[in-house]
Amino acid sequence: MSPVLFPRRRTVLGWAAPAPMLAHAQKLPRLVTVGGALTECVYALGAEAQLVGTDTTSLYPLAAQSTPKVGYMRTLSAEGLLALKPDAVIATTEAGPPVVLDQLRSAGVKVELIDSDHSWAEVQRKLQAVGRGAGREAQARALQATLDADWARVQNQVARFKGRKPRVLFILSHSATVQVAGEKTAAHAMLQLVGAQNVMTGFNGYRPMTAEAMAAAAPDLVLTTTQGIDAQGGLAMFWSRPELALTPAFKTKALVHLDALELLGFGPRLPATVRSLHQKLVLKA
């Protein structure tokens, strides 16, 4: 089984050194992370005492929800960020607006942006960036070695499966506009990683869900986020959408849902997430 990354203790199964004493932590770089997966990396490295702020997508582990918030990643404020006196801001390339990032650099704050391509290399880049920003490069290398080994085991497990790939539809339903995931999305990449087939191809990004598309796609199973289920008012309301009634998945209410950050964040939990979803989507399809 994959190791649990975030137990209630302040260490991570021997992967990271214990959180430093406060007096020592004050000498280490003060960090703001913009992106839930980056914040997870901070906790995985035992550097949470250095966190002075996070964005609103930083919800895991639970302690991250109590950190000072700098707003949504795309609508950051230079004034709010500078008030936290960070030494470094670590974010993905989705963060902005660009003028705010320029203002931070002009004020002497180190800004590091990580490209998102929905791959294992993205996870590695995030962990390495946090290691540099936190002054914990040795700990980051040690954790990376552990995660790389686990990732290799998961990839081997998925590759050994020779059965039929289930046809899966990913639905994003966090608002009134319900959308389906095409190519070049985190959802599409995740389905490929677990050995499933995305029924929505031929376009990039997300599109509104239509009855015609559902009938043509004929998914065996629906994958969505737990937050999306909640936003729609629960499972019964989710399945009440008439478009879904046209799918084979509707007949058996075949659905898997997972926390949005774990499913789409591409953070240090990725090996465990792929292992779990492979079991749920492929081996039990």
pLDDT tens, position by position, 130-143: 999 999 999 999 99
DSSP 69: B
Q: What is the pLDDT of residue 64?
A: 98
The pLDDT confidence band at residue 3, using thresholds 50, 70 and 90, is very low
DSSP 65: G
Q: What is the pLDDT of residue 72?
A: 96
DSSP 94: T
Q: What is the CA radius of gyration of the chain?
A: 20
Q: Which two tokens stand for residue 122?
A: 């993205």
The yes or no reply on domain 22-155 and CATH 2.60.120.560 is no
Give the global pTM.
0.87
Q: Which two tokens stand for residue 51?
A: 């966190």
DSSP 283: I
- 265's CB contacts (< 8 A; 6+ apart) are 35, 36, 37, 40, 57, 186
Residues of the chain with CATH 3.40.50.1980: 22-155, 167-283
Query: What would the pLDDT profile of 126-172 be if each residue is shown by its tens digit?
Result: 999 999 999 999 999 999 999 999 999 999 999 999 889 999 999 99
Q: 111 has which bridge partners?
A: 89
Phi (first) and psi of residue 110, to 5 degrees: -75, 125
For residue 177, pLDDT over 90 is answered with no
Architecture, CATH, for domain 167-283: 3-Layer(aba) Sandwich (3.40)
Q: What is the pLDDT of residue 8?
A: 40
Provide mean pLDDT across the span 73-101: 97
Q: Give per-residue burial for 189-207: e unless 16+ CB within 10 Å, then b.
A: bbbebbbbbbbbeeeeebe
